Amino acid sequence: MAASLQLSRVSTINADNKPQTTLEVTDAQEIRSEVFVYSVDDRGEEYDTYASVATLYEIENLPNSRQGGAVSYLKNSVTIVYDGVQQASFGQSQLTLSLETLIKEYNTYKDKFEKNDTLEIS
């Protein structure tokens, strides 16, 4: 079975008249649902900032909480506020592309690893 993600997306204009998008992973197959990297801010969790969509390394190595002295961690949702609608449109495209790339890379490496064959070494 191939890895896949299903996300809910809500895009609105917020109270500050800025476009914002909220994505939340609602279903994850063969891959963990926490795919958004956050950077820890010493002031507290409410100041932590979204950094990026996770890489394969981050999926396998980052915790899903800020506990234990983590400098970054993964969450299954993200809200991004943009400066304008053009930036929002571009940002949404880039975010989608990053998620697609993550899933493609995961499936590629998984397919290369999974074998049911005979290995002969001479």
pLDDT tens for residues 44-89?
Answer: 889 999 999 999 999 999 999 988 888 999 999 999 999 999 999 9
Neighbours of 64 (CB within 10 A): 13
Res 20: pLDDT: 95
pLDDT band at 8 (very low <50, low <70, confident <90, very high): very high
Distance CA 122, CA 118 (A): 13
CA–CA dist 47, 39 (Å, integer): 9
Statement: the pTM of the whole predicted model exceeds 0.75: yes
Which tokens is 62 given? 């980052």
What the block records as the tokens of 116 is 């049911």
SS3 (DSSP) at 118: coil
The pLDDT, as a whole number, for residue 81 is 95
In the block, residue with structure tokens 């592309």: 97
Q: Domain segments of the chain: what residues?
A: 4-104
